Structure 1
């Protein structure tokens, strides 16, 4: 049950934060009845109890009219008066004291520009503030604090304001129309001057082809150009080499010639240097013998 309550509170806080720009730390405006409830049910310190309820840091406020009302109640509400005096004072600008509910309603106004969370035990005040679009309400029940979910009026107001943000206002539409007419007029004037040869196009209003041509002259690429992938052949290492018929015929011819001319193709015996010297000596000896 406690987990569901916290989940519901987080959803409500997110609604007011997104739709009406409530920001942390949240400001909580307390009246006398709520301060009395906190003391009576021992929900102290009050800032910790409210921060646990909203799952965010808070800052507590009250008004001078609320303090004056608690003071007039006498000793029965002296503890509540002393506790309320410790809270920050929200400006209400009342010269004469008014009732607490009227003071809080006036501080909130029509749009709750200060983004207050209102904490009160007054059911009539809560019912009245439900008709104000940007007011989240907090109340206590025994020893627990609850954040009221947004009312039907508040949801409808948030939806209508979101739809208005999606469309242009009359002022924005007129400004856009004026700008487009001026741009078209400038473009027509430059086209006419270009036909007469008296002017040139500004870079912002150049036609598409002219802008590309100027970019080529200045070696500027207007568009990103991607390299096209070319068709690649197979991996040469994975392909078998083709057997050529000419090479086989030449090889067979050489083999045939080798068989016919064995005598011619015999390799000459290589002679060493010592053998040549011996041969030369033997030949000189033979010559000497012949001369004798």
Structure 2
């Protein structure tokens, strides 16, 4: 049951923060009945108990001078509640004469709760009244536990209608759009007229030019393709040429080699040892 309660409170806090702009630290406006209930049921400290309801966010507790005056009028039975209420921050209410707590709080909240107050009260009539005001979360207590009321059907419907209105243009926005469109059309008309005048001037200049210039212009307007010329081989990828000697030089070398061989044959002499061996054998 406690987990369901926490989920419900978390959803309510998200609703008010997303749709009505509530921000931390949350401000809680307490009346005398709520302060008296906290003291009678020994719910201390009050700021920690209220912080646990609002997803652990920091809170600031407020009251009004009219609430303090009402607690003072109730007598000694509400003396402790009066002392506890004096420790809270007093919200500004511009009342020359003290009013009832309900009237004072409803005037501070107004029609749209500009200060983003959470209202903590035990008065059922006051709580029902704030169900019909957009953006007013209500806190109440039952014995030792505190509760945050879920958003009313009126508040949910108010959020839906406001979102639909944002999606559509207002009359003022529609008029501004028409003005901008008319201004754009006028600008386009003037620019088209200027372009037409410029085109006429260019046409007259073309007629005034001689035929040779026209032919030159016609040739230049055509697409011209450059022919790729044959290029030589890459010198880095080619092998080096072998040095070839002249044939005459080669023949001379061959002749010289032949003559040297003939001379060597002619100069060769037989050894005498062979003859001596032949004579001995004979």
Number of residue pairs matched by the alignment: 212
Is 2:268 the partner of 1:285?
Answer: yes
Q: Flag structure 2 segments of 5+ consecutive residues without an equivalent.
A: 201-259, 273-282
Q: Distance in 2 between matches of 1:173 and 1:26?
A: 38
Q: Distance in 2 between matches of 1:114 and 1:172?
A: 29
Deviation (angstroms), 1:105:
0.8
Alignment partner, residue 142 of structure 1: 143
Deviation (angstroms), 1:287:
8.7
* CA 118–280 in structure 1, closer or farther in 2 if over 3 Å, else same: farther
Q: Distance in 2 between matches of 1:71 and 1:198?
A: 91
RMSD of aligned alpha carbons: 2.3
Q: Distance in 2 between matches of 1:170 and 1:24?
A: 36
Alignment partner, residue 8 of structure 2: 8
Q: Distance in 2 between matches of 1:164 and 1:180?
A: 23
1:230-265 deviations in Å (ceiling 9; x for gaps): xxxxxxxxxxxxxxxxxxxxxxxxxxxxxxxxxxxx
Query: TM-score, structure 1 length as denominator?
Result: 0.69
Q: Flag structure 1 segments of 5+ consecutive residues without an equivalent.
A: 200-276
Query: TM-score, structure 2 length as denominator?
Result: 0.71
Q: How does 1:261-280 map to 2 (within 5 A)?
A: none
Is 2:35 the partner of 1:35?
Answer: yes
Q: Distance in 1 between matches of 2:46 and 2:143?
A: 15
Which structure has the greater CA radius of gyration? 2
Q: How does 1:225-264 map to 2 (within 5 A)?
A: none
Superposed structure 1 runs of 4+ greater than 6 Å apart: 279-282
Alignment partner, residue 154 of structure 1: 155
Deviation (angstroms), 1:98:
0.7
Q: Distance in 1 between matches of 2:16 and 2:162?
A: 13
Q: Distance in 2 between matches of 1:32 and 1:96?
A: 18
Q: Distance in 2 between matches of 1:88 and 1:153?
A: 30
Is 2:125 the partner of 1:124?
Answer: yes
